[in-house]
Structure 1
Amino acid sequence: MRSGVFSGLADSVPIAAGYVPVAFSFGLAAVQMGLGSAWAVAISALVFAGASQFVLLSLWAAGGTPLAVVPTVWLLNARHLLYGQVVAEQLAQGRSARVSSTLAFGLTDEVFACAATRLPGLPPERRAGWLAGLQAGAYGAWIAGTALGAAAGAQWIDRFPLLREALQFMLPALFLSLLLQMGMRGRAVALGAAAGVTLLGLALAPVAVALPAGMLAGAGFQLLHAGREHD
């Protein structure tokens, strides 16, 4: 168990390296929108969902009420129900459902991408420990990045103006690196559908509508593709 945790921590380094600048950007944005440092860190600690946290900030800044913000954030994170099913099947071999439920909180997009690639190749008895280590490294980096951005982000931006522009590309770059790690074979149509629907949605509707529509389109095309391969 312990060796699995340490192995997961080691494998979390690439995710952690990507999380720190993204979380830094969130902490900075939260403080600039009027939230205190403590609130910024609390949101990251309780929500732990990068893109959804930025959407939450945008809706809050636009005067959104909890009745609008909470369902939108929930919808953006609904994909984790599918992630959980895939990971639970891997952990179910020799592990209880309680362990799988405990690990559900740390199942971010990036953690899932790594877990989907690595878990099948691990012995069943090491999988839960490895996933716990992977999530601990990612979670710690996310909290640390948020705290750093909230506490010192404004001063860094004033000293290094180009940092603001660079931070805008961190989240897309992180997703792209994980996508390349998983491989592009068999996913081109789904990715094209997701990108096309998202871009069209951004031109016609708010981001809170465009992003879920793109995700649903990509998932739908991938399911169709998988169904044809099994026929």
Structure 2
Amino acid sequence: MRGFARGLAASLSIAAGYFPVALSFGVTAIEAGLSPALVMLISVAVYAGASQFLMASLLASGAGFAASVPTVLLMNARHIFYGPAVARHLAPPPSPVASPLLAFGLTDEVFATAMARIDRTPQECRAGWLFGLSCGAYAAWLAGTACGVLLVGEADSWPSWLREAMQFVLPALFFALLLEAGLRRWSAALAGAAVGTVATLPWLAAHHALLAGIVAGATAHAAWHLPRRAGDAP
């Protein structure tokens, strides 16, 4: 498939972040009492980062699939918007067989990388490039989970600095993707998110302040760019 190898190469930065996070998930889920087969099944079928940690906690607490699955689906509702945003860059549209595969691979990091780099890829290679990008990230996630399942007994002997460093891998990955997308392009969103988060942090819990920052960043980005687009219209 044209562009697949280039997409696979582009996935290396994502894979470097996914592997240790998935490894951590494998260790955490096994220690929570889930079977190795179920842990691997979650990574194969759910493939949703933080939602997998939540699902493992819910299942370990006895919540069952009936309660866990809707919770995870609700947590990942934002992914509904990823497909249409990427699809407008693909021409001709992917086939009915390829579309679900490409949609399944659109994690936050894959989506961010695709939106930052897909326009630099020749039009006829974009679907293959996106598929390669998704496959590389997915393979790293599954490999990390498998290693976590196998190495669960060794986790307690890891140096403390290594365990603490693994907690910073995913934020570091997001920061690297932001740098790749270009800080200047997203300066209004970054400023709005920073101000919104810092301003609400004294009164709200950290996760609520983060949501406020996201809303403020999106609002600032729209307010900065919409007038310019209106001015460019004929």
Alignment TM-score, normalising by the size of structure 2: 0.82
Is the contact between residue 24 and residue 153 of structure 1 (CA under 8 Å) also seen in structure 2?
A: no
2:4 match: 5
How many angstroms does 1:102 deviate by? 2.8
Partner of 1:111: 110
Q: Is the 8 A contact 1:26 1:54 kept in 2?
A: yes
| CA displacement at 1:100 relative to structure 2 | 3.0
Q: Distance in 2 between matches of 1:135 and 1:96?
A: 15
Measured after TM superposition, the shift of residue 196 of structure 1 is 6.0
* Structure 2 letter corresponding to 1:95: P
CA 1:116–1:169: 2 relative to 1, 3 Å? same
Query: 1:71-110 CA distances to partner (integer Å, 9 max, x unpaired)?
Result: 442233222222211210111x123452333310001111
Change (3 A) 1:221 1:156: same
Cα separation, 2, equivalents of 1:144 and 1:181: 25
**Alignment check: 8 A CA contact 2:27 2:155 kept:** no
Q: State how many pairs are aligned.
A: 228
1:143 matched residue in structure 2: 142
- 2:92 maps to 94
Q: Within 2, Cα distance between the matches of 1:194 and 1:65?
A: 36
Q: How does 1:17-166 map to 2 (within 5 A)?
A: 17-60=16-59, 64=63, 69-91=68-90, 93-96=91-94, 98=96, 99-166=98-165
Against the structure 1 CA distance between its residues 54 and 212, is the aligned structure 2 distance closer, same or farther, given a 3 Å change threshold? farther
Contact 2:31 2:152 in 1 (8 A): no
Deviation at 1:160, TM superposition (A): 2.8
- The ranges of structure 1 where at least 4 consecutive aligned residues each deviate by more than 6 angstroms after the TM superposition are none
Tell me how far apart the structure 1 counterparts of residues 152 and 211 of structure 2 sit (CA, whole Å): 30
Q: CA deviation at 1:138?
A: 0.7
How far is the alpha carbon of 1:24 from its aligned partner? 0.8
CA contact under 8 A between 1:16 and 1:137: conserved in structure 2? yes
Contact 2:55 2:68 in 1 (8 A): yes
Greater shift, 113-122 or 52-61, is seen at 52-61
1:182 lines up with 2:185 in the alignment: no
What code does the residue aligned with 2:53 have?
F
Please provide the CA RMSD for this pair.
Answer: 2.9
Is this contact kept in 1: 2:30–2:39, CA < 8 A? yes
Are the structure 2 counterparts of residues 100 and 142 from structure 1 closer, same or farther at C-alpha, using a change threshold of 3 Å?
Answer: same
Greater displacement, 32-41 / 136-145 = 32-41
Contact 1:157–1:163 at 8 Å: present in 2 too? no
Distance 1:61 1:230, change over 3 A: farther
More helix by share: 1
Cα displacement (A) at 1:148:
0.3
Structure whose alpha-carbon radius of gyration is higher: 2
1:83–1:107 CA contact under 8 A, matched in 2: yes
Distance 1:186 1:118, change over 3 A: closer
Identity of aligned residues (%): 49
Aligned equivalents of 1:196, 1:70: Cα separation in 2: 35
Deviates more, 1:167-176 or 1:68-77: 68-77
Gaps of 5+ in 2: none
Distance 2:84 2:205 in 1: 31
SS at match of 1:185: coil
- Give, in whole Å, the separation in 1 of the partners of 2:197 and 2:149: 30
